[in-house]
Amino acid sequence: MTAILESISREIQGKGGPARRGLAAERLAGMLVVAALAILVAGTQGLMSPYVVNLIGQVATFGMLAIALDLIWGYAGILSLGHGLYFAIGGYLIAMHLVKVAYLQTGTPPDFMLFMGWDSLPFYYAGLENFPYALALIVLISGGVAFLFGLISFRSRVSGVYFSIITQALVFVAMLLFFRNDTGFGGNNGMTGFTTLLGWPIAAPETIAALSAASVLAAAASLYVCARIVRSRLGHMLVAIREDESRLRFLGFETLWIKIAAWVISAVIAAIAGMLYVPQVGIINPRVLSPELSIEIAVWVAIGGRGTLVGAFAGAILISTLKVVLTASAPELWPFILSLLVIFVVVLLPNGLLDAPAALRGWLEWRRQRAAS
Amino acid sequence: MKRWVLAMLRLSVFMAAGAGWLAAPARADGDARASIVDRLCTRETEARIAAVDELLAGVARKEIAADWGAAIIGAAGDASLKCGEGGVRVIAKSGRFRDPLTLADVSESSAKLAAPFVNLRVRAAYEMAGGLLLLITAPASPLAAKAADDLQKHAGIANLDALQMAVEAQPSPDLAGRLQAIAAFRALRHPDLERRIAAIGKLADDPTERNRTALLDLQGDKTAAGDPKVAAALAASIASIDRWLQFSRLMATVYSGLSYASILFMAALGLAVIFGLMGVINLAQGELIMVGAYTTYLVQEAIRAAAPGILDLYLLIAIPIAFCVTALVGVLMEITVIRHLYRRPLMTLLATWAISLLLINLVRVFFGTQNLEFVTPAFLSGGERIVGDFIVTYNRLFAIVFALGILIAALIILRRTKLGLFIRAVTENRDMAGCVGVSARRVDVLSFGIGSGLAGLAGLALSPIYTVNPNMGTNFIVDAFMIVVLGGVGSLIGTLIASVNIGMINVIIEPAYGAVAAKVIVLLLIIIFIQFRPEGLFAPKGRR
Amino acid sequence: MSKEALYIDGLTVSFGAFRAINNLSMIVKFGEIRGIIGPNGAGKTTLLDVLTGKTRPRSGRVLLDGALDLLALSEAEITLSGVGRKFQKPSIFEALTVAENLGLALRSRQRSIWGEMVYTPDEGDRAHIQDVLGMIGMKGRGDLSAGKLSHGQKQWLEIGMLLIQRPKVLLLDEPVAGMTDEETERTVTLIRALRSPERAILVIEHDMAFVQEVADLVSVLHEGRMLLEGPMERVRADPAVIEVYLGR
Using an 8 Å CB-CB cutoff, list chain A residues near C52: 250
Give the Cα separation of B85 and B236 in Å (integer).
57
The structural domain count of chain C equals 1
pLDDT tens per residue, range B479-514? 787 787 777 765 778 888 888 888 888 888 877 777
Quick one: pLDDT at residue B110? 67
C94–A13 C-beta distance less than 8 A: no
pLDDT tens per residue, range C116-131? 777 777 777 888 888 8
Q: Report residue B456's pLDDT band, with 50, 70 and 90 as the boundaries.
A: very high
Quick one: pLDDT at residue B290? 93
Give the Cα separation of A50 and A40 in Å (integer).
11
pLDDT tens per residue, range C8-44? 888 888 877 778 888 888 888 888 899 888 887 778 8
Q: Report residue C110's pLDDT band, with 50, 70 and 90 as the boundaries.
A: low
Residue B533 lies in a domain: yes
ipTM value for the complex: 0.84
Residue B24 CB neighbours (<10 A): 5
Q: How far is A33 from chain C (nearest CA, A)?
A: 24
Give the Cα separation of B494 and A133 in Å (integer).
48
A73–B281 C-beta distance less than 8 A: no
A116, burial (CB in 10 Å: exposed 0-12, middle 13-18, buried 19+): middle
A370, burial (CB in 10 Å: exposed 0-12, middle 13-18, buried 19+): exposed
Quick one: pLDDT at residue B530? 67
Give the Cα separation of B243 and B259 in Å (integer).
25
Q: What is the strand order of the sheet B81-84 is part of?
A: B96-98, B89-93, B81-84, B113-114
Quick one: pLDDT at residue A89? 95
Q: How far is B544 from chain C (nearest CA, A)?
A: 6
Facing B358 at nearest CB: one of A160, A339, A347: A339
Maximum C-alpha span of chain A? 82
For residue C109, the chain A residue with the least C-alpha distance is A252
B470/B328 same-domain check: yes
Contact B341, B347 (CB under 8 A): yes
Helices (H), B337-472: 345-367, 394-416, 418-428, 430-435, 440-462
Three-state secondary structure call for residue C100: helix
Quick one: pLDDT at residue B543? 32
Nearby residues of B52 by Cβ (< 8 Å), 6 or more positions away: B40, B73, B125, B126, B128, B129
Facing A252 at nearest CB: one of C76, C116, C147: C76
Q: How many CB pairs under 8 A join B and C?
A: 7
- Segment B55-65 mean pLDDT: 85
- Segment C200-221 mean pLDDT: 86
Contact A78, A146 (CB under 8 A): no
Using an 8 Å CB-CB cutoff, list chain C residues near B543: 45, 49, 88
Chain A, window 149-178: residues with a beta carbon less than 8 angstroms from a chain B beta carbon:
152-153, 155-162, 164-166, 168-170, 172-173, 176-177
Nearby residues of A299 by Cβ (< 8 Å), 6 or more positions away: A315, A319, A338, A342, B350, B353, B354
Facing B530 at nearest CB: one of A156, A176, A332: A156
Quick one: pLDDT at residue C214? 86
Quick one: pLDDT at residue A22? 59
Q: What is the strand order of the sheet C169-173 is part of?
A: C83-86, C169-173, C200-204, C33-37, C217-222, C225-230
Q: Which of B286, B539, B541, B350 is nearest to B427 (CA)?
A: B541
C80–A236 C-beta distance less than 8 A: no
B541 CB within 8 Å of a chain A CB: no
Give the Cα separation of B387 and B248 in Å (integer).
6
Give the Cα separation of B86 and A34 in Å (integer).
120
Model confidence at B428: pLDDT above 80: no
Using an 8 Å CB-CB cutoff, list chain B residues near A160: 345-346
Q: How far is C226 from chain A (nearest CA, A)?
A: 26
Give the Cα separation of B399 and C147 in Å (integer).
52
pLDDT tens per residue, range C191-201? 888 888 888 89
Q: Which of C77, C97, C113 to mutate to test the interface with A (most CBs of A within 10 A)?
A: C113
A81–B527 C-beta distance less than 8 A: no
Give the Cα separation of C30 and C200 in Å (integer).
5
Chains sharing 3 or more CB pairs under 8 A with chain C:
A, B
Give chain C's contact residues with B (Cβ, < 8 Å).
45, 49, 87-89, 91
Q: How far is C23 from chain B (nearest CA, A)?
A: 22
Residue after which a domain boundary falls, among B162, B188, B214: B188
Facing A249 at nearest CB: one of C76, C96, C117: C76
Model confidence at B372: pLDDT above 50: yes
| C103: enclosing H helix or E strand | helix C98-105
Residue after which a domain boundary falls, among B172, B188, B204: B188
Most confidently modeled range among A146-150, B257-261, B415-419, C66-70? A146-150
Residue B391 CB neighbours (<10 A): 20
| B91: enclosing H helix or E strand | strand B89-93
B156/B260 same-domain check: no
Maximum C-alpha span of chain C? 63
Q: Which of B336, B481, B541 to mutate to test the interface with A (most CBs of A within 10 A)?
A: B481
Using an 8 Å CB-CB cutoff, list chain B residues near C91: 544
Three-state secondary structure call for residue C167: coil
Residue after which a domain boundary falls, among B188, B215, B236: B188
pLDDT tens per residue, range B291-309? 999 999 999 999 999 888 8
Model confidence at B14: pLDDT above 80: no
Q: How far is C173 from chain B (nearest CA, A)?
A: 10
Residue B6 lies in a domain: no
A248 CB within 8 Å of a chain C CB: yes
CATH of the domain at C12: 3.40.50.300
Give the Cα separation of B501 and A65 in Å (integer).
37
Amino acid at B13: V
Chains sharing 3 or more CB pairs under 8 A with chain A:
B, C
Q: What is the strand order of the sheet C68-69 is part of?
A: C18-29, C4-15, C59-64, C68-69
Q: Does residue B366 or residue B227 have the better pLDDT? A: B366
A164–B346 C-beta distance less than 8 A: yes
Could you write out the DSSP letters of every residue in B231-269? HHHHHHHHHHHHHHHHHHHHHHHHHHHHHHHHHHHHHHH
Residue B241 lies in a domain: no
Quick one: pLDDT at residue C20? 82
Q: From residue B18, how far is each of B5, B14, B21, B364 by CA, in Å?
A: 19, 7, 9, 44
Contact B111, B103 (CB under 8 A): no
> Which DSSP category does C149 fall into?
S
B543 CB within 8 Å of a chain C CB: yes
Give the Cα separation of A17 and C144 in Å (integer).
10
Amino acid at A251: L
pLDDT tens per residue, range C153-178? 888 888 888 888 888 888 888 888 88
A303 CB within 8 Å of a chain C CB: no
Chains sharing 3 or more CB pairs under 8 A with chain B:
A, C
Range of the domain at B376: 248-537
- The per-residue pLDDT of chain B, averaged, comes to 80
B128/B255 same-domain check: no
Nearby residues of C125 by Cβ (< 8 Å), 6 or more positions away: C103, C106
Phi, psi of C97 (to 5 degrees): -80, 170
Quick one: pLDDT at residue C108? 54
Give the Cα separation of B287 and B361 in Å (integer).
11
Q: What percent of chain B has pLDDT over 70?
A: 88
Facing B531 at nearest CB: one of A156, A177, A342: A156
Residue C188 lies in a domain: yes
B544–C89 C-beta distance less than 8 A: yes
Annotate B159-168 with b (16+ C-beta within 10 A) or e (fewer): bbbbbbbbbe
Quick one: pLDDT at residue B2? 55
Quick one: pLDDT at residue B1? 54
Contact B87, B39 (CB under 8 A): no
Facing A298 at nearest CB: one of B275, B350, B539: B350
Model confidence at B12: pLDDT above 80: no
CATH of the domain at B451: 1.10.3470
Quick one: pLDDT at residue B490? 59
Q: From residue A37, how far is each of A41, A43, A44, A274, B292 by CA, in Å?
A: 6, 10, 11, 21, 55
Could you write out the DSSP letters of every residue in B458-489? HHHHHTTTS---TTTHHHHHHHHHHHHHHH-T
pLDDT tens per residue, range B212-269? 877 787 777 777 667 777 788 888 888 888 888 888 888 888 888 888 888 888 888 8
The CA-based angle B253-B254-B257, given to 5 degrees, is 85
Most confidently modeled range among A247-256, B154-163, B350-359? B350-359
Phi, psi of B533 (to 5 degrees): -125, 50
Q: How many CB pairs under 8 A join A and C?
A: 91
Residue B386 lies in a domain: yes
Q: Does residue C71 or residue A220 have the better pLDDT? A: A220
Chain B, window 281-320: residues with a beta carbon less than 8 angstroms from a chain A beta carbon:
281
Range of the domain at C201: 4-93+153-246
Give the Cα separation of C22 and C8 in Å (integer).
12
Q: What percent of chain C has pLDDT over 90?
A: 0
Give the Cα separation of B346 and A298 in Å (integer).
10
For residue A306, the chain B residue with the least C-alpha distance is B347
A236–C103 C-beta distance less than 8 A: yes
Contact B460, B472 (CB under 8 A): no
Using an 8 Å CB-CB cutoff, list chain C residues near A251: 79, 104-105, 161, 165
List, for chain A, all residue ranges whose pLDDT scores fall below the cut of 50.
Answer: 1, 7-20
Could you write out the DSSP letters of every residue in A170-232? HHHHHHHHHH-GGGSS-GGG-B----EETTEETTSHHHHHHHHHHHHHHHHHHHHHHHHHHHS
B173/B256 same-domain check: no
B180/B265 same-domain check: no
Q: Report residue B10's pLDDT band, with 50, 70 and 90 as the boundaries.
A: low
| A152: enclosing H helix or E strand | helix A131-155
The structural domain count of chain B equals 2
Between A145-154, B23-32, C234-243, the lowest mean confidence (pLDDT) is in B23-32
Q: Which of A250, A256, A258 to mutate to test the interface with C (most CBs of C within 10 A)?
A: A250
Three-state secondary structure call for residue C199: coil
For residue A154, the chain B residue with the least C-alpha distance is B531
Q: Does residue B115 or residue A146 have the better pLDDT? A: A146
Quick one: pLDDT at residue B224? 66
Q: Report residue B29's pLDDT band, with 50, 70 and 90 as the boundaries.
A: low
Quick one: pLDDT at residue A12? 44
Chain A, window 227-246: residues with a beta carbon less than 8 angstroms from a chain C beta carbon:
228-229, 232-234, 236-237, 239-240, 242-244, 246
- Segment B321-343 mean pLDDT: 90
